[in-house]
Chain A
Amino acid sequence: MEAQMTTTTTAPRFQEFWRVFRNNYMGLVGFMMLVVAIIVAILAPVLSPYDPSSTLNVTTTDIYNPPSAAHWLGTDDAGQDVLTNFIFGARVSLTIGFFAAFISLVIGGVLGIIAGFYGGRTEELIMRFTDIMLVIPDLPLMMVVIALTKPSIFNIILVIGLLYWTTTARMVRSQTLAVKSRKFVLRARAIGSSKRHIIRRHILPLVLPILVVQAVLVVSSAVLAESTLSFLGLGDPTALSWGQMLNYAFGRGAMSTGAWWALVVPGFGIVWVVLGLTLLGQGLEQVLNPRLDTHHLMPGRPVVRNEANEDAEKSTGKSPLLEVRNLSIHYVNNGKPPARAVENISFNLQEGELIGLVGESGCGKTTLMLSLLRLLPSAGQIVNGRVLFNGRDLTALTEDELNSVRWSGISIVFQGAMNALNPVRTVGEQIAEAIIKHLPGFPKENLSARVVELLDLVGIAADHKDHFPHQYSGGMRQRAMIAMALACNPQVIVADEPTTALDVMIQAQILELLDRLRKKLGLAIIFVTHDLGVVAEMCDKVLVMYGGVTAEYADVDVIYNNPKHPYTQELLKAFPDLTKPKKKLSSIPGYPPRLDALPAGCRFAPRCPAAFKRCHTDPPSLHKLGDGHIASCHLLEASS
């Protein structure tokens, strides 16, 4: 359901690519370095102070002269100007690098696409051959081949090209496989497209970016390979590449004469080109394959509390188990105004109560859920409000204090339990881990029995204790997640879309399980979902969220039979009801707002059938409609 938030591979058309690449310093620096090297190579005759082919006027006194006005970078073993040779060396090294890379990319690209697209025996054969070529150490093989043939530029290009295609082939194949399994290829087949058409129009455009990154890396490997071969004395003796310069200097006494310039300069050239290509490759990779630059262990942002805004009113009667008061959360957005993901949300949870948190994708329900235990991603920040658990303000605790509340007081059943369980540890271990952490006095010998007991509670047989998550079915993983959540006898469980990816029957089993456990153990549950039907079946109270704010908050019966907020009303009309099979469903026109581009007034106004002028300018406040019923709509001003 949150799919809309995660923009998967978007179209990296050129302009868009450039817009992002421009801001990637790594790639940009690499690109500049490479451009400089290419310019030097092209303009070699103009730039170099001497003619490289002239050996006139060289006497023994010219050998290994240190840098001077006449020879800025000194002279080499033949008395030639190092700078001149360095500049012309760029030509040799780059030419060999680019041509060899070209050959290997063509071979690797074609084999990779054929293997990935056609599959079956063709793929088996190609990939097996690739595997063999991959394990044969390539430098020794190149050495043997060049030693047996004649070391010439042509042979070197050929040998590097013919041996460096393996990684390209593997990469292109896996990318082709990934693209091929995407539905648009199936759709293209359903249209009647030929294989050629599919490869040309659908596979190639999506494999090309990978190939470009790979090309950059292969060029750098080829430059390195050439210099290594030359250094080992297998280079073309007539072409003075950087590697060859080093070979001569090292082999002809630069070391003993202390002629560091003859050793340092050519190496610098190689490092310059290879580093430039590496940086460019890394930069391209980051741009074409962007990944989140955050992870879950990054320190969270400090909680800010604007006391003036806080609702001074204290809750009446019995103090609730969990009370969320005026909670607001923003996502910091790189200098742009922050995304106001959650604003001014309040709700109460009593012992044994089940509250439904309902909303569509991007409405902020997951953000709200994560903020209760301060598990927000590092860009998220609580900018106002309190979370009171047993009267203790969780937003004011230190990380260590919070760690003792996490799981033992409030635990979470995450959605899509496949990724929420560690794939390389057994389910039993992962359950026991929570017990060890929070119940330090728990006798070790009873640990295993307790894990079995918990698994039994959720209907998993004891012998599955030592199995790994991938051995469980989807429904079982969700059960295991529930068992884990129960491990430390928490008072509150937050269930985040626990049934979303499951089949209807498994979904019903999980819901029944939660309901049973709740009654048996007196749990309070916050049930986060987009499914109105599930909420009606289970919950006591409902909080309907829209675009990060409370639309309506009331007892379940009120929400379904006397909803006041137009969003709640429209949502119910859009929801199918089996008891009225002939009812025509209606949809809400438009789409939920993006949190970084919220409308000025009521966040629902652009889609609201009852919106009037004021709705587009003023955000509505929360109106109390009696007995715990709250809704935020200008229409309700009179009735509150």
Chain B
Amino acid sequence: MSADHFLEVRGLKKYFDVGHATLFSRQPRNLHAVDGVDLTLRHSEVIALVGESGCGKSTLALLLMGLEDPTEGIVTLEGRDITHLDDHQRKDLRRKIQMVFQDPYESLNPTQTIEEIVTEPLAVHGIANTPDRDQRVKKAMEDAGLKPAEVYLKRYPHELSGGQRQRVVIAAALVLEPEIILADEPVSMLDVSIRAEIINLLAELRITRQIAVIFITHDLGSVGFFADRVAVMYLGRIVEIGTMLEVLEKPQHPYTRALISVIPVPNPRLRHERIILQGETPNPIDLPSGCRFHPRCPVAFATCKVSDPRLIPLSKTHQAACLLLVK
């Protein structure tokens, strides 16, 4: 196993049964939250997972965390299959993969002090009584930008600002010394002026602690300098993946193009033509036939209704799933 296949996802699927149980029968209806995702994460790499709500990106994160069981597919970490683990194995694995959530107001228990919050992971893993505990907590907090740590230890979450709370969440993740951090929309609830500091913090961690980051966001604009690669998701699948520059500057999938075109540019001199898709993302229960993007695609043609495209390699690093790219 080479270092290039640090975390690997193959054919991952997650269906939720949303059928109504009636008096006499039970018809299964599946919500295809994640529907066949392949993804490789390298050591200390940052992948941005971009998509609108309902595209399955958050479910994918929960699958990777083992907080949901996949319907199909495998996840391997350094070559070891981690798809289905018992509680004990799963717990050990948790030290390697940690998660940061969207809403820092909700992801901290209001009745715990910051010290309790950051120490809790150590206690859960039975390493709270080691002599370097305090040192470890302090380092995690200061690495997360809570300097000096002593100032914050005895405080409660409601005494901190949104940005500080998000730093506490990150510190509580760092204290286990993870190798991967899954960040689910970590800045979307924060004010514009402090978003950058959280993104910059995550960007630093990959350098100082060699942590790989999966950065989940609906905002293509914020992935900029920070991501190595960008994966765009639509209705449970990755429709385009490539390096940051490939995706942002030479998008090949019509959906990616539209997404990029509607991101506002903070310069009135660069007002540009926007590709505005009509309607809304179809529900992931009754999926469209063929290419699942065809009902909203501005360049769809007859074949799109029947043929479901796979990811087509465009360069060593760039792939997109569109029938127009089939030569």
> Do A and B share a direct contact in the complex (Cβ within 8 angstroms)?
yes
Q: How far is the CA of A205 from the CA of B156 in the complex (A)?
A: 14
A507 at the interface (CB under 8 A from B): yes
Contacts of A586 in B (CB 8 A): 196
Q: Are A575 and B101 in contact (CB under 8 A)?
A: no
Least CB distance from A473 to B in Å reads 6
B105 at the interface (CB under 8 A from A): yes
Contacts of A576 in B (CB 8 A): 219, 221-222, 224
Q: Are B121 and A192 in contact (CB under 8 A)?
A: yes
B65 at the interface (CB under 8 A from A): yes
Contacts of B65 in A (CB 8 A): 190
Q: Are B67 and A190 in contact (CB under 8 A)?
A: yes
Provided the pairs A206-B111, A504-B263, A577-B265 are in contact, do residues A361 and B280 lie with their beta carbons within 8 angstroms?
A: no
Q: How far is the CA of A187 from the CA of B62 in the complex (A)?
A: 11
Least CB distance from B4 to A in Å reads 24
Q: Are A505 and B162 in contact (CB under 8 A)?
A: no
Q: Are A578 and B263 in contact (CB under 8 A)?
A: yes
Provided the pairs A504-B218, A581-B224, A591-B161 are in contact, do residues A3 and B105 lie with their beta carbons within 8 angstroms?
A: yes
Q: How far is the CA of A187 from the CA of B108 in the complex (A)?
A: 8
Least CB distance from A556 to B in Å reads 5
Contacts of A512 in B (CB 8 A): 274, 276
Q: Are A507 and B262 in contact (CB under 8 A)?
A: yes
Q: Are A581 and B196 in contact (CB under 8 A)?
A: no
A309 at the interface (CB under 8 A from B): no
Least CB distance from A151 to B in Å reads 44
The proximity string for B residues 36-53 relative to A, scoring 1 for CB distances below 8 Å and 0 otherwise, is: 000000000000000011
User: Number of B interface residues, CB 8 Å?
Assistant: 75
A147 at the interface (CB under 8 A from B): no
Task: Closest A residue to B276 by CB, please name it.
Answer: A508
B120 at the interface (CB under 8 A from A): yes
A201 at the interface (CB under 8 A from B): yes
User: Number of A interface residues, CB 8 Å?
Assistant: 72
Provided the pairs A508-B262, A537-B271, A577-B266 are in contact, do residues A587 and B225 lie with their beta carbons within 8 angstroms?
A: no
The proximity string for B residues 87-104 relative to A, scoring 1 for CB distances below 8 Å and 0 otherwise, is: 100110011001101110
Q: Are A579 and B197 in contact (CB under 8 A)?
A: no
A110 at the interface (CB under 8 A from B): no
Contacts of A537 in B (CB 8 A): 264-265, 268, 271
Q: How far is the CA of A505 from the CA of B262 in the complex (A)?
A: 7
Least CB distance from A161 to B in Å reads 29
Partner of A188, one of B95, B120, B220, B267: B120
Partner of B193, one of A7, A13, A557, A574: A574
B86 at the interface (CB under 8 A from A): no
Give the A-B contact count at a CB cut-off of 8 A. Answer: 209
Q: Are A504 and B106 in contact (CB under 8 A)?
A: no
Task: Closest A residue to B61 by CB, please name it.
Answer: A190
Of B73-81, B241-249, B284-292, the one with at least 4 CB within 8 A of chain A: B241-249
Q: How far is the CA of A10 from the CA of B199 in the complex (A)?
A: 27
Q: Are B158 and A11 in contact (CB under 8 A)?
A: yes
Task: Closest A residue to B283 by CB, please name it.
Answer: A473
The proximity string for B residues 142-186 relative to A, scoring 1 for CB distances below 8 Å and 0 otherwise, is: 000000000000001110011100000100100010000000000
Contacts of B110 in A (CB 8 A): 9-11, 206
Contacts of B324 in A (CB 8 A): none
Task: Closest B residue to A185 by CB, please name it.
Answer: B109
Least CB distance from A146 to B in Å reads 39
The proximity string for A residues 566-577 relative to B, scoring 1 for CB distances below 8 Å and 0 otherwise, is: 000011101111
Q: Are A574 and B195 in contact (CB under 8 A)?
A: yes
Q: Are B258 and A189 in contact (CB under 8 A)?
A: no
Q: Are B105 and A585 in contact (CB under 8 A)?
A: no
Contacts of A588 in B (CB 8 A): 193-194
Contacts of B67 in A (CB 8 A): 186, 189-190
Q: How far is the CA of A556 from the CA of B268 in the complex (A)?
A: 7
Contacts of B265 in A (CB 8 A): 533, 536-537, 577-579
Partner of B194, one of A7, A189, A508, A591: A591
Q: Are A183 and B195 in contact (CB under 8 A)?
A: no
Contacts of B193 in A (CB 8 A): 360, 570-571, 574, 587-588, 592
Q: How far is the CA of A209 from the CA of B92 in the complex (A)?
A: 34
Q: How far is the CA of A560 from the CA of B12 in the complex (A)?
A: 44
Which residue among B124, B200, B258, B277 has the maximum number of chain A CB atoms within 10 Å of its CB? B124
Contacts of A580 in B (CB 8 A): 224
Q: Are A584 and B225 in contact (CB under 8 A)?
A: yes
Q: How far is the CA of A203 from the CA of B191 in the complex (A)?
A: 30
Q: Are A3 and B162 in contact (CB under 8 A)?
A: yes
The proximity string for A residues 588-610 relative to B, scoring 1 for CB distances below 8 Å and 0 otherwise, is: 11011000000000000000000
Task: Closest B residue to A584 by CB, please name it.
Answer: B225
A295 at the interface (CB under 8 A from B): no
Q: How far is the CA of A560 from the CA of B94 in the complex (A)?
A: 45
Q: How far is the CA of A592 from the CA of B193 in the complex (A)?
A: 9
Partner of B249, one of A205, A572, A581: A581
A531 at the interface (CB under 8 A from B): yes
Interface residues of A in 505-538 (CB under 8 A from B): 505-509, 512, 530-534, 536-537
B259 at the interface (CB under 8 A from A): yes
A467 at the interface (CB under 8 A from B): no
Q: How far is the CA of A94 from the CA of B21 in the complex (A)?
A: 48
Q: How far is the CA of A512 from the CA of B277 in the complex (A)?
A: 11
Least CB distance from A313 to B in Å reads 29
Task: Closest A residue to B230 by CB, please name it.
Answer: A581
Task: Closest A residue to B50 by CB, please name it.
Answer: A504
Provided the pairs A11-B158, A202-B109, A578-B220 are in contact, do residues A531 and B91 lie with their beta carbons within 8 angstroms?
A: no
Which residue among B102, B195, B196, B270 has the maximum number of chain A CB atoms within 10 Å of its CB? B196
Partner of B192, one of A201, A532, A560, A561: A532
Q: Are A184 and B107 in contact (CB under 8 A)?
A: yes
The proximity string for A residues 177-219 relative to B, scoring 1 for CB distances below 8 Å and 0 otherwise, is: 0000011101111111110010001100110000000000000
Q: Are B101 and A183 in contact (CB under 8 A)?
A: yes
Q: Are B269 and A557 in contact (CB under 8 A)?
A: yes
Q: How far is the CA of A539 from the CA of B264 in the complex (A)?
A: 12
Contacts of A539 in B (CB 8 A): 268
Q: Are B103 and A13 in contact (CB under 8 A)?
A: no
Contacts of B259 in A (CB 8 A): 504-505
Q: How far is the CA of A505 from the CA of B258 in the complex (A)?
A: 8
User: 4 other contacts beyond A587-B195, A588-B193, with CB at 8 A cut-off?
Assistant: A512-B276, A533-B263, A580-B224, A585-B195
Q: List 29 A-B contacts (CB under 8 A).
A: A4-B191, A7-B158, A11-B158, A183-B106, A191-B176, A192-B90, A205-B109, A206-B111, A360-B193, A361-B191, A475-B280, A503-B52, A504-B218, A505-B277, A508-B262, A532-B192, A533-B263, A536-B266, A536-B271, A571-B193, A574-B193, A574-B196, A578-B248, A578-B260, A578-B263, A578-B265, A585-B195, A587-B193, A588-B193
Q: Which 4 A-B pairs have the closest CB atoms?
A: A533-B264, A585-B196, A508-B262, A587-B196
